Amino acid sequence: MYRRINELIHLLKISGVSSISRRYFVMNSFDGAMTMLGVIVGAYASGVVTPKTIIGVGLGASLAMGISGFSGAYMTEKAERLRKLKKLRKAMLADLDKSLHDRASRLASLWAAVVDGVSPFLAAMISMTPFFLAISHILSVEHAVLFSIILIMIMLFSLGFFLGRISRENAVVWGLRMIVAGVATAVISLLVGGW
């Protein structure tokens, strides 16, 4: 088992998929959090906020984003990696089927797709946690809305902070930029939802 895990890590290193995975993770977590923010604030503004509604809409949206992300990323990465593999095959004048490069390419496509598909679903599920507590009558609906928005803002700040660290710039400023985007989304959702 340990040897198999090391082999998978080695193949992922060869494929160079880590930076792509980071981008997919941040972009799609951001999408999942912002979608849930729009759903929650829009529902609250329109007066139809119930825990079951938020969870139902949130699950539907997050599953759609996850499936879309997985399939889109898998096909895109597979096409790009096949292109590179064919170029390498042509340059080396060798058959690379089932070679280390071929296996790394296949694993990278799958890994990127999993990261792309799971990240928006995870962000949405974290956002909906207070509504699961509201269904269990641990929180009121109003508190669930408030705590969910706070969780989303924490996620947005964390994603921005992470990007700031990657870019070696002021991570707090990057985190605050993400919060500004979240606040803008909440205000627009509030205005649209109140119509």
What amino acid occupies position 124? A
Task: Among 11-25, 106-120, 145-159, name the one with the lowest average pLDDT.
Answer: 11-25
Judged by DSSP in three states, 55 sits in helix
CB atoms near residue 93 (< 10 Å): 6
Position with higher pLDDT, 157 vs 76: 157
**Domain ranges (residues) in the chain:** 29-69+119-193
Round to whole Å and give the CA distance between 155 and 123.
Answer: 8
Do 58 and 41 meet the contact criterion of CB atoms below 8 Å apart? no
Helices marked H in the chain — which ranges? Answer: 2-15, 18-46, 51-92, 100-135, 141-167, 171-193
Helices (H) and strands (E) in the chain, counts: 6, 0
Position with higher pLDDT, 101 vs 39: 39
Position with higher pLDDT, 191 vs 37: 37
Site of tokens 């998929």: 17
Round to whole Å and give the CA distance between 53 and 128.
Answer: 11
Mean pLDDT of the chain: 85
**What value does the mean pLDDT take over residues 175-182?**
96
- The model's pTM is 0.82
Judged by DSSP in three states, 97 sits in coil
Site of tokens 């969910």: 148
Q: What is the pLDDT of residue 16?
A: 66
